[in-house]
Amino acid sequence: MTHALIVIDMQNDFCPGGALAVAGGDGIVAGINAEMARAGAVILTQDWHPAGHSSFASQHQGRAPMDTVLLPYGAQVLWPDHCVQGSLGAEFHADLNTDRADMILRKGFRPDIDSYSAFFENDQITPTGLDGYLRTRGITELDFAGLAKDFCVAWSALDAARLGYKVRVLRELCRGIDINGSMARAYEDLRAASVGLV
C-alpha cells in the first residue's frame, strides 16, 4: 500500500453558504467519496483556526477580506473569519465519508501563522507532521482533491513534490477561488514541479 488520497479541507465554510464559500465546492463530495473507495489510504485535512486568527481580515483595522498584508513569515491573504475551532463551519461536509479516513490532520491552529499546505505552515518551515506519518507507512504516491484548488490543494501538492512524493492533482475533484489570477499561477507552478494534473 504505497498510495494515498489526501482530501483537503472539505468543510462547511468552504462550501456554498459558508463563510469562505468556493463555487461548486459541495459538488465534488460524491466523486471524492468514490475515489476514497479506490485509495489505499485516505487522509483528510481540516482547517482549524482559533477565534481571532491572524489571517482573518477582522483582526486588521482598515483591511477587507482578500486584501494582502505582510506578516512576519511573508505575504498573507486576509480571509473572512472561517473554520473557527468547534464551529459548524469547521465541520466536514455532512455527505463526506469521514469514516473512510485513516487520519485527520488539523492545520491552521497556531494563532499567528496560517497553514495552506498539509505539510508545512505558511512559513514553509514548520512541519505539520504529515510527512513523517506517510513515510512511516511507506506511502510514496499521493493524489490530492478538495478545496481550494489554487491555495490549500496547490500548496499541499507542491510541498509533496518537493518532499519527493509522486503527486497528482485530481482536477475534477477540486474547486478554486481564483483571486487575481491565482488559478493560472497555481497550474503553472504545479506543471513546473512535474505534478500530474489528471
Q: Which of 15, 81, 83, 152 is catalytic?
A: 152
d(C-alpha 8, C-alpha 10), whole Å: 6
Identify whether 189 is a catalytic site residue: no
Q: Which of 13, 26, 107, 174 is catalytic?
A: 107
Tally of CB atoms within 10 A around 110: 16
Cβ atoms within 10 Å, residue 123? 14
Above 90 in pLDDT, residue 1? no
> Pairing between strand 74-77 and 103-107?
unpaired
User: Mind listing the pLDDT tens digit for each residue in 52-84?
Assistant: 999 999 999 999 999 999 999 999 999 999 999
* Cβ–Cβ under 8 Å, residues 152 and 146: yes
* Number of neighbours of residue 26 by Cβ within 10 angstroms: 22
